[in-house]
Structure 1
Amino acid sequence: MKSTRLCLACGNAFVPLLHVPRQRYCSSKACQRARRRNWQNNRLRIDSDYRDNQARAQAKWRAGHSSYWREYRAAHPAYRERNRSMQRTRNARRSHTPIAKMDVVRLPRPLDSGFYVLSHAEDIGVANMNAWTVHIAVLSAPPAPPT
């Protein structure tokens, strides 16, 4: 009589294969997928070489498929709307600080010519792409017009 075991993923009883004495997952596709996912998560946690290799492979894939997410969002409007809704919820939970978008600068009037110092300012919100938060201190002002 063959002994049965309980699958770690689904909890159902199964008969282990004779050539896999330490089998802990049944042969269903979902349970095998869970087994591989658990193995990979454990490997990523304990093996820095594996983690580095995975990061390099993912970066290489992203470089070769730079338009993937743009195309995915275009083809899946429900995903896009859910993502936007979730972002609005996250924004509402934050303090009411502005969110920078793609190098947008809104000034009450154009800056006068002169020398300026850019110094580090604490992050006050979310910045996209290359947007920087800076403090501008005027060191010199243009000469006053003659009267």
Structure 2
Amino acid sequence: MGTKRCLACADDFDPCPRVAAQNYCSRPECQRERRSLWQKDKRANDSDYRGNQLACQRRWRETHGDYWKKYREQHPDYEQRNRELQRGRNEAIKAAPVAKMDAIAPAGSLRSGRYRLRACGSNGVAKMDEWIVQIVVLTRA
């Protein structure tokens, strides 16, 4: 068995003879990338795995409900930096138009097509969740 090229760092390495499909060298950062890619693929393609991960996270949150409160108390610089960054994000959202310029169109001018739909909070800021929706106009006024 000859040398192989690591998929993470692109360096040549001698694979372990007991691991036939070894594509990553033994460096910790390369192994971390390998595991990360495996987990990402597993979450995307295995509903049981994804459900188990969510259940595990839920259990952890239930037993460590005050984790973030304690973390913020112990790291005031983190909390201050986060507040400053959030203010900047809020200002950017206020400065940017939320909808296209033709959003206020005369009644009956809506066309059939795909649209992005976002829920806005009471402050007018759109949340990160959005849906792609298909609107079909059945009649025109």
Alignment length (residue pairs) = 100
Report the TM-score, using the length of structure 1 for normalisation: 0.62
Report the TM-score, using the length of structure 2 for normalisation: 0.64
1:7: Cα distance to partner? Answer: 1.1
Cα 1:4–1:55 shift into 2, 3 Å? same
Distance, in Å, in 2 between the alignment partners of 1:80 and 1:13 is 44
Cα 1:77–1:9 shift into 2, 3 Å? farther
% identical aligned pairs: 45
Structure 2 residue runs of 5 or longer lacking an equivalent are 96-119, 126-141
1:77: Cα distance to partner? Answer: 3.1
Structure 1 residue runs of 5 or longer lacking an equivalent are 97-121, 127-147
Distance, in Å, in 2 between the alignment partners of 1:11 and 1:73 is 40
Structure 1 runs (4+) greater than 3 angstroms displaced? none
| CA RMSD after TM alignment | 1.8
Bigger fraction of residues in helix? 2
Task: Please state whether the residue corresponding to 2:87 is helix, strand or coil.
Answer: helix
Aligned residue in 2 for 1:73: 72
User: What whole-Å deviation, never above 9, does each CA across 1:121-145 have from its counterpart, x for those lacking one?
Assistant: x63326xxxxxxxxxxxxxxxxxxx
Which runs of structure 2 are paired with 1:33-72 in the superposition (5 Å)?
33-72=32-71
Letter in 1 for 2:122: I
